[in-house]
Amino acid sequence: MDSVLSLRNLTVDFDTPRGMVHALRDVSMDVPRGKVVGIVGESGCGKSTLIGAAMGLLANNAVVRGGRALFEGTDVLTMSATDLRAIRGRRIAMVFQDPMTSLNPVLSIAQLMTDIQYRDRATSAEQKRARAIDMLRQVGIPDPEQRIDHYPFQFSGGMRQRIAIAMALLMNPSLLIADEPTTALDVTLEAQIIALLRELHGKFHTSILFVSHNLGLIAELCDEVVVMYAGEVVEQGPVRALFHDARHPYTRALLECDPARIAQSTRQLPTIPGEVPNLIHLPAGCVFRPRCSKAFDPCGRNAPNPRPVAEGHATRCYLLGDD
Amino acid sequence: MPAQLSDTLTTPAAALRREGFLGQAQRFSRDPLGMLGLILVTLIILAAIFADILAPYGPAAIDVKARLAAPTFEHPLGTDQLGRDVLSRVLYGGRIALEVALVCISVSLGLGLVLGMLAGYGPRWLDNALILIFDAVRSFPVIMFALAVVTLVGPSLETIELIIIVTSIPGYARIVRTQTLSLKNNEFILAERSLGAGIWRVLSVHIMPNVIGPLLILASMDVPVVVTIEAGLSFLGLGVRPPTPSWGSILNDGYAFIRNTPWLVIAGGVPLILTTLGFTFLGEALRDIFDPKLRKG
Amino acid sequence: MWVYTARRLGLAIVIISVAMAMLFFMIYLVPGDPASIALGPRATPEMKEALRAKMGLDKPVVVQFFNFFVNVLRGDLGVDVWSNRSVSIIVVESLPYTLVLTAVGLGWAILLGVPMGCYSAIRRNTWLDKISGVLSVSAIAVPSFIVALYCLLLFAVEWKVLPAIGAGEQGDYWDQFTHLILPSFAIGLGWVGYLARLVRASMLEIMGENFIRTARAFGLAERTIVYRYALKLAILPTVALMGVGVGNLLSGAVFAEIVFARPGIGKLVYDAVITRNYPVVMGAVLVTTALFVLCTLLADLLAAWLDPRARAAL
């Protein structure tokens, strides 16, 4: 199976004044070509670091301890800056979380969308503009010929996110990374954006890496899901399998806590007791053990390796049997 | 330069509040420029206080035979056109500079505090009137204003001090006013007033402590400005009256005799440079520790 | 946008009027006969009588001020007590020299300060950044007349590479240019430091913004990001603050003109102060103050106009 993005045993630390933050530990996952893969997890689980690694946009104090981040076969982490720049925006594109601050406020949309086509020296300015207008139309911006000359502040949040998606898909990338693209939008806009992503995915067959903390969206949009907790992938598999047959206690807890899935009306919302662990001083053994209701003896000794549940479905949990 | 996509650290501001005075002093000691500033300022203040003891001659002691001499062992900084020892004049000049700074800044700070609180807390018309006056005073380039006043009143050190005070007040008053305005409708103030607290109590107990910090930082940054104005006007001959030594008047003499000897200009300029640099470094370091928001650069 | 402009212009006029009032009424704060003070020590009794009649000193003070105000609006700033020439003409003659000096000083500041600030921001926390930080603070702290004196001492008196006195031959542009170098550098140096710090802070703030992250994610060249995206935006706050800088530069210009014996408003005022020539002093101060207020206003308007968000909002 041809993977657009392939992370293999990726381990990343951040060197901070307070100590070494172990942000990603032995993370392996794939984005198969033409599929939509979702990453779900709480704040601090390592989603942002993972995306940063995929694009070669890690902070200065990041230390890659091991593993590889292969984009279409080449390791992004060992690429030169020039090569990285060549693929960013062209073969990998990204849509960010906050549409209100992601666009340069003093350039018009036309200027922004022409700038990112700078690599196309053969195309004329008019052609670039036309291509931009066409893309804007495809994402549902009304009257794009006029509005392309407007500035970002003249658009609403939902519109700006559509523009961001248009910009990302303009160069027809192999992989689109969407980092919580609807978190800052209200529910109706959220639904529209998700529908838009689905439609564009159908049209362009772009592989999508969709990051969110919202299980409902993941269920709607994604083919496969990767569940992350405190820097590790605790479970991954096809979306149906995960939602109907989740094996990791954390995944099950997440599903139970999703307000959309609560059958009986209740005054108390379920939560997962305990706190996210300190990424500088990690507990021994399984990282979820302090909060796991099913923890038993082997959980405290060593962190479990991923073990298969079914075809394409794996989880890191001793409940599936010994190593 | 790779960009950052995540930041999992806590803010430094919260950490600062947990420190005490000792913690802040430690942080200050790690700032090399700040320490340098502190050392310079201390030296200058000590030199001014102990000028009597340190100066080998009196500042007005004339010795015409030794006029315009280059530095020698007897006269480490040389002599001026009347044969007066420049080192002694520089040391006593420090007194003038620091005295002007002390007087002007404390008076304008005090008056600025009062006027600022009046403007912030008082009725709207008073605020508008005061703002207008402040803006008008601030619209004069200071030197121009000084020259206008000196034309009318005649030059003297007191005139200079008056001018500096008048032109400094709006700066302090504005800060006090802003703070007062923002605190005026603050909930705890309203609560206090509903409990019957009078104006003076509100102003002195609640508003003033919040305002003192930024004011003191501004004052320390103001010292080099004040010293410069005094020196500048004395350099023009419009400040201290001879034979009182001021760094500016030494520069004036130096300028007149610049083709005879460079040492007067050097001797008059170096203490000014050291003073302005020292207080500026110190003020910046203090500001970095106590209120990084004030930093504009 | 036009309403905003009109409002700011109105405010500027009010401030200038208040300033004028202050200058006018200062005469009355001083003990003595206003006419003598206005006319200076060489006033004869006839001149004093004439001025009293002209100023209407018997009329109430407010009326006098009103007359004064009207005169100023008509361009009549009074008369030089020594030469009897119109103050307005004298001031207007000297003004261009000072303006040129100030403009070139500003030019130094922009030429050196902006790149310095920009590179400091890009090479943040390197030795280059730290050294330029110290240099910036020092440039701001050291008084401009000291810089002028030391430049004079070093370049003109000791090394004799640049001229010491005057503005150069009329019509000889190169000569005038060499005469400009030292004094404009002296007054511009402080601003080099100030601009460097301002641009650095502005750039750092902007480089941390999300839209810069977006630009990087789209693979735009670092140069494009720095100049087209960051610097363009970073310049905006500096434009507004340059207006304030003009007042500073003018003060520096006074000293620079005196130290280098250049013609200009500074030298004019200084000579007038020595001779107690109040009408000239007052006229010059008025003109420079008005200039300062208008420059601040212009800078603010320019800054507002350059930012498309502000342009639309106003």
* Per-residue pLDDT tens digits for C133-166: 889 888 888 898 999 999 888 888 888 777 778 7
pLDDT digits (tens, 9 = 90+) for B154-164: 888 888 999 99
Nearest to B277 by CA among A19, C308, C137, C213: C137
CATH of the domain at A27: 3.40.50.300
In DSSP notation, chain C reads -HHHHHHHHHHHHHHHHHHHHHHHHHHHHSSS-HHHHHH-TT--HHHHHHHHHHHTTTS-HHHHHHHHHHHHHTT---B-TTT--BHHHHHHHHHHHHHHHHHHHHHHHHHHHHHHHHHHHHTTTSHHHHHHHHHHHHHHHS-HHHHHHHHIIIIIIIS--S--SSS--TT-HHHHHHHHHHHHHHHHHHHHHHHHHHHHHHHHHHHTSHHHHHHHHTT--HHHIIIIIIIHHHHHHHHHHHHHHHHHHHHHHHHHHHHTT--SHHHHHHHHHHTT-HHHHHHHHHHHHHHHHHHHHHHHHHHHHHSHHHHHH-
Q: Is C75 left (phi over 0), alpha (psi -120 to 50) or beta?
A: left
Q: Which tokens belong to B65?
A: 């035979």
The pLDDT value given to residue B2: 37
> Does the distance separating the beta carbons of C281 and B148 come in below 8 Å?
yes
Closest chain C CA to residue B229:
C143
Asked if residue A186 has pLDDT above 70, the reply is: yes
The pLDDT value given to residue A274: 78
* φ, ψ (nearest 5 deg) of residue A132: -65, -45
Q: pLDDT category, A160, cuts 50, 70, 90?
A: very high
d(CA A88, nearest CA chain C) in Å: 5
The minimal CB distance from A102 to the residues C211, C233, C312 is found for C211
DSSP β-bridge partners for residue A94:
A177
Q: Which tokens belong to B173?
A: 């008053």
Q: pLDDT category, A155, cuts 50, 70, 90?
A: very high
Q: Which tokens belong to C150?
A: 């030391």
- Residue A98 belongs to some domain of the structure: no
What's the rounded mean pLDDT across residues C183-197? 89
Q: SS3 string of C77-120?
A: CCECCCCCCEHHHHHHHHHHHHHHHHHHHHHHHHHHHHHHHHHH
What's the rounded mean pLDDT across residues C183-200? 89
d(CA B15, nearest CA chain A) in Å: 12
**Chain Cα centroid distance, residue B288:** 18
The pLDDT value given to residue B283: 87
The domain made up of C95-313 is a member of CATH 3.30.420.10: no
Asked if residue A275 has pLDDT above 90, the reply is: no
Q: Which tokens belong to A282?
A: 């990690």
Subunits close to B (at least 3 CB pairs below 8 A): A, C
Distance CA C78, CA C72 (A): 8
B161-198 in b/e burial notation, b at 16+ Cβ within 10 A?
bbbbbbbbbbbbbbbbbebbeebbeeeebeebeeeeee
* Cis ω for the linkage preceding B214 (within 30 of 0): no
DSSP B85: B
* Summary mean pLDDT of chain A: 87
Q: Strands A36-40, A74-75: parallel, antiparallel or unpaired by DSSP? A: unpaired
B contact test, residue of C37, C145, C160 with most B CBs within 10 A: C145
d(CA A86, nearest CA chain B) in Å: 14
- Give the contacts of C250 (CB within 8 A, at least 6 positions apart): B141, B144, C98, C102, C265, C288, C291, C292
Q: Which residues of chain C have a CB within 8 Å of the CB of A89?
A: 217-220
> Chain C within 8 Å of A307 (Cβ-Cβ)?
no
Q: pLDDT category, C52, cuts 50, 70, 90?
A: low
Distance CA B211, CA B294 (A): 13
- Give the contacts of C208 (CB within 8 A, at least 6 positions apart): none
Question: Is B247:B93 a contact under the CB 8 Å cutoff?
Answer: yes
Q: Which range of residues forms the domain containing residue A75?
A: 3-91+171-320
Q: pLDDT category, A1, cuts 50, 70, 90?
A: low
- Residue A99 belongs to some domain of the structure: no
Distance CA B229, CA B232 (A): 5
- Residue A244 belongs to some domain of the structure: yes
Task: State how many domains chain A has.
Answer: 1
The pLDDT value given to residue C202: 87
Tally of residues, chain C: 314
Q: Which residues of chain C have a CB within 8 Å of the CB of B232?
A: 143, 145, 255
B contact test, residue of A13, A22, A58 with most B CBs within 10 A: A58
Any idea which residue has 């030795």 for tokens?
C127
Amino acid residing at C99? L
> Does the distance separating the beta carbons of A57 and C211 come in below 8 Å?
no
The pLDDT value given to residue B272: 92
Question: Is A222:A207 a contact under the CB 8 Å cutoff?
Answer: no
The minimal CB distance from C197 to the residues B137, B142, B297 is found for B297
> Does the distance separating the beta carbons of A59 and B2 come in below 8 Å?
yes
Asked if residue C187 has pLDDT above 70, the reply is: yes
Asked if residue C313 has pLDDT above 70, the reply is: no
Distance CA B181, CA B207 (A): 10
**Rounded alpha-carbon distances, angstroms, from residue B248 to A60, B90, B266, C147:** 50, 10, 12, 13
Tally of residues, chain A: 323
Q: Which tops the pLDDT comparison, B242 or C199?
A: C199
- Residue A28 belongs to some domain of the structure: yes
d(CA A174, nearest CA chain C) in Å: 14
Instruction: Decide: residue C211, CB within 10 A, 0-12 exposed, 13-18 middle, 19+ buried.
Output: buried
At residue B41, the 3 state secondary structure works out as helix
The minimal CB distance from A21 to the residues B2, B4, B8 is found for B8
Helices (H), ranges, A56-186: 81-87, 109-115, 125-138, 144-147, 157-169
> Does the distance separating the beta carbons of C219 and A89 come in below 8 Å?
yes
Q: Strands A3-16, A62-71: parallel, antiparallel or unpaired by DSSP? A: antiparallel
Question: Is A66:A237 a contact under the CB 8 Å cutoff?
Answer: no
Handedness of CA B45, B48, B53, B54 (dihedral sign): positive
Asked if residue A225 has pLDDT above 90, the reply is: yes
Asked if residue C56 has pLDDT above 60, the reply is: no
Q: Which tops the pLDDT comparison, A265 or B172?
A: B172
Interhelix angle B86-121/B208-235, nearest 10 degrees: 140
Q: Which tops the pLDDT comparison, A169 or B61?
A: A169
> Does the distance separating the beta carbons of B262 and C157 come in below 8 Å?
yes
Distance CA A206, CA A200 (A): 8
pLDDT digits (tens, 9 = 90+) for C70-88: 777 777 777 776 677 788 8
Domains of chain B, by residue range, sit at 17-294
The pLDDT value given to residue B12: 39
* Summary mean pLDDT of chain C: 81
The pLDDT value given to residue C312: 63
B contact test, residue of A20, A22, A39, A60 with most B CBs within 10 A: A60
The minimal CB distance from B6 to the residues A17, A49, A56 is found for A49
Distance CA B66, CA B269 (A): 22
The minimal CB distance from A58 to the residues B2, B7, B9 is found for B2
H or E stretch including A10? strand A3-16
Nearest to B263 by CA among B98, B96, B90: B90
Q: Which tops the pLDDT comparison, C93 or B121?
A: C93
A contact test, residue of C126, C214, C233 with most A CBs within 10 A: C214
Tally of residues, chain B: 297
Q: Give the predicted TM-score (pTM) of the model.
A: 0.76
Rg of chain B's alpha carbons, rounded to an integer?
A: 23
Per residue of chain B (297 residues), give pLDDT as tens: 333 332 323 333 334 444 556 666 777 777 888 889 889 999 999 988 888 888 888 777 787 777 777 787 777 888 888 878 888 888 888 988 999 999 999 999 999 988 988 888 778 888 888 988 898 888 888 888 888 888 888 888 888 999 999 999 998 998 888 888 877 777 677 777 777 767 677 667 777 777 777 787 888 889 999 999 999 999 998 888 888 888 999 999 889 888 888 888 888 899 999 999 999 998 888 888 776 555 443
Closest chain C CA to residue B137:
C19
Taking CB atoms and an 8 Å cut-off, how many pairs form between chains B and C? 140
Rg of chain C's alpha carbons, rounded to an integer?
A: 24
Q: Which tokens belong to A308?
A: 């298969």
The minimal CB distance from C285 to the residues B3, B144, B277 is found for B144
> Chain C within 8 Å of A167 (Cβ-Cβ)?
yes
At residue A88, the 3 state secondary structure works out as strand
Instruction: Decide: residue B60, CB within 10 A, 0-12 exposed, 13-18 middle, 19+ buried.
Output: middle
The pLDDT value given to residue B59: 77
Asked if residue C248 has pLDDT above 50, the reply is: yes
At residue A143, the 3 state secondary structure works out as coil
C contact test, residue of B132, B140, B221 with most C CBs within 10 A: B140
Structural fold of domain B17-294: MetI-like fold (1.10.3720)
> Does the distance separating the beta carbons of C18 and B143 come in below 8 Å?
no
The pLDDT value given to residue A129: 92
Q: Strands A224-229, A36-40: parallel, antiparallel or unpaired by DSSP? A: parallel
Distance CA C266, CA C250 (A): 8
Distance CA A167, CA A144 (A): 14
Nearest to A313 by CA among A253, A255, A246: A246
The pLDDT value given to residue B161: 92
Q: Strands A232-238, A307-310: parallel, antiparallel or unpaired by DSSP? A: unpaired
Closest chain C CA to residue B33:
C134
Kindly report the CA angle at C80 between C76 and C82, in degrees rounded to 5?
A: 160
